[in-house]
Amino acid sequence: MYLKNVLITGISGFIGRSLVEAIVDSKLPWNIYGIDIKPPRFNDSKYLENIVFDTVDIRNRKAVAEYFATRKFDGVIHLAAVSRVVDAENDKENCIRTNLYGTQYLLENIALTPETWVIFGSSREVYGEQKLLPVKESAAKKPINIYGECKLKGELLVKELITKYAILRFSNVYGNSYDIDGRVIPAFFKRATNGKTLFLEGGNQIIDFTHIDDTTNSIIKVAKLLQEGAISTEEIHISPGNENKITDIIACLETYLGKKLNVEIREKRNYDVVRFIGDPSHRLAILGNTTFKTLNEGIAIMISSFRMPKTNHSAVSYSI
């Protein structure tokens, strides 16, 4: 069987490392290449043995060009990014350099081999605050923060430069020990287990949380479809289409931890999108009738992963 050469950018991040594990565990006939600003760490050394890693800073145009000068890929899964809205707002220049210019530098090199397909990890943040829920892929794009603006411009670059692509809009991915501590669900879990107060910015958010396993499985399905030529240009929500209140996380954690948690409501941040539910109908049509995990199921899995013995899995700043 023909071995596919697949590059994963941001391979040291939460989704990147989880994706490597899913690919290896599925025994897919792929040669996995990865770039990031720091090497990835895994719970099991077998995953590291199955990738060819290079340190590349995508913010450096020359470094990106030199990397691609001697390599050719069947497909590229672009996940490298400043991955949290709050980090992007706190350092807008780095967000622009990484999420926009870094994407541009990658795409202009990938475009030199038009047969190479691209999966671009985008975000629900491109929609901004929508009045009509659930949100379809065709809805107007009105980002309200720098993260969403850069992701949207990245999408436009993909459409301009790449022939075969899928734009996947992720929605609040969570679910294992590789996650970044500052994200809402792992942050709540760790503060709760340490008896600390949980802080809610606003407290009225409705969010379409997506478990990491559903995310990686969807990425793999899309990659297969692109490789087979079954799809050529797609935009797909990778989210379950569920209405979850931010307070539902607290209820789940109280159930699993068996105790009442201390919660403090703070003022909403002006760059946070308060309401988003992705319409799953297009995803179901393209990827099949796959049931995504509920928040309750996903948090149970996440708690198990956090309780497993592990090494230091701190994700680097520029990976998702």
Give the pLDDT confidence of 202-252 residue by residue, as tens digits. 889 999 999 999 999 999 999 999 999 999 999 999 999 999 999 999 999
- Phi then psi dihedrals of residue 25, to 5 deg: -65, -30
Quote the pTM value: 0.93
Render pLDDT for 130-171 as a digit per residue (tens, 0 to 9).
Answer: 999 999 999 999 999 999 999 999 999 999 999 999 999 999
- The whole-number pLDDT of residue 103 equals 98
Mean pLDDT over the full length of the chain: 93
The structure tokens listed for 54 are 């290079």
- The answer to whether residues 107 and 158 touch, using CB atoms and an 8 Å cutoff, is yes
Domains of the chain plus CATH, in order, are 4-175+209-240+278-292 (3.40.50.720)
Nearest Cα residue to 121 out of 167, 56, 87, 156: 167
Instruction: Give mean pLDDT, residues 175-202.
Output: 90
Which residues, listed in sequence order, are joined to residue 239 by a DSSP beta bridge? Answer: none
